[in-house]
């Protein structure tokens, strides 16, 4: 009778535990991605990365350190946002995969969690005027910093930040009287966790647009935007 090898048993147990961990990670990734992915391609990519260790803030901060090429900032912003944007497959958003069965995005002004906010923003941003009105109504009713902490997501989405800056700047350009509301939106976003890292990924033009909005509103205390 062959003797049992403790080393072999330990290796087999470790392998079984790793397979179980990966299976659980994939199931959890599918559940999250089903409701937050903008396309089948994004869903597939998120699930494929389920077993990988996340990129930490320290690594991202190194990528976007002063003097880093713009391409690095763009790549890091994509990592922070958890994937690309775009529409559902079949509606022009691309991806080429099957359409996912997912609930329609709620109006921005009525969202109740970070996941709902980002899903609603993806749907609303195509109509900048309406999106700005929805954002303003939401921010007037509830603190964006509090909302975006709900649901366990504490870091500000870098892509969404750039898009909202553009939306606010566009609203001010079309109607300068919107500047105080637009500035309040940007200041509320500056209070969200991970803002400084997301702001570091803004391009020079995007950062200048934010500065223009705050300056147009006569804001004296820019808060965390001072360091953006």
What residue spans define the domains of the chain?
Answer: 103-227
Mean pLDDT over 100-125 rounds to 79
Helix residue spans in the chain (DSSP H):
6-36, 40-48, 57-63, 70-81, 114-124, 128-141, 144-147, 158-174, 179-189, 195-200, 204-216
pTM of the entire predicted model = 0.60
pLDDT value at residue 200: 85
Mean pLDDT over 170-174 rounds to 95
pLDDT higher for 204 or 106? Answer: 204
pLDDT value at residue 162: 92
The fraction of the chain above a pLDDT of 70, given in percent, is: 69
pLDDT value at residue 151: 45
pLDDT higher for 185 or 151? Answer: 185
pLDDT value at residue 97: 47
Mean pLDDT over 76-95 rounds to 44
Burial class (CB in 10 A: 0-12, 13-18, 19+), 167: buried
DSSP class of residue 225?
Answer: G
pLDDT value at residue 136: 92
Q: Is the pLDDT of residue 212 over 60?
A: yes
Chain segment 11-59, per-residue pLDDT in tens: 788 887 878 787 887 787 777 777 666 667 777 877 877 776 666 666 6
């Amino acid at each position: 009778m062959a003797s049992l090898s403790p080393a072999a048993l330990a290796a087999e147990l470790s392998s079984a535990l790793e397979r179980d961990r990966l299976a659980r990670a994939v199931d959890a990734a599918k559940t999250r991605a089903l409701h937050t992915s903008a396309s089948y391609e994004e869903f597939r990519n998120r699930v494929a990365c389920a077993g990988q260790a996340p990129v930490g803030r320290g690594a991202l901060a190194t990528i976007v350190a002063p003097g880093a090429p713009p391409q690095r900032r763009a790549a890091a912003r994509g990592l922070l946002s958890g994937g690309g944007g775009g529409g559902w497959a079949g509606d022009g958003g691309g991806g080429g995969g099957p359409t996912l069965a997912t609930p329609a995005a709620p109006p921005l002004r009525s969202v109740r969690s970070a996941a709902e906010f980002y899903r609603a923003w993806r749907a609303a941003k195509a109509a900048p005027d309406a999106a700005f009105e929805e954002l303003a109504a939401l921010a007037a009713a509830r603190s964006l910093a509090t909302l975006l902490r709900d649901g366990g997501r504490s870091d500000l989405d870098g892509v969404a930040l750039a898009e909202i800056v553009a939306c606010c700047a566009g609203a001010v350009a079309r109607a300068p009287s919107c500047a105080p509301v637009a500035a309040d939106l940007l200041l509320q976003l500056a209070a969200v966790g991970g803002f400084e890292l997301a702001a570091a990924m803004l391009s020079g033009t995007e950062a200048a647009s934010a500065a223009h909005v705050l300056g147009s509103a006569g804001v004296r205390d820019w808060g965390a935007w001072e360091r953006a």
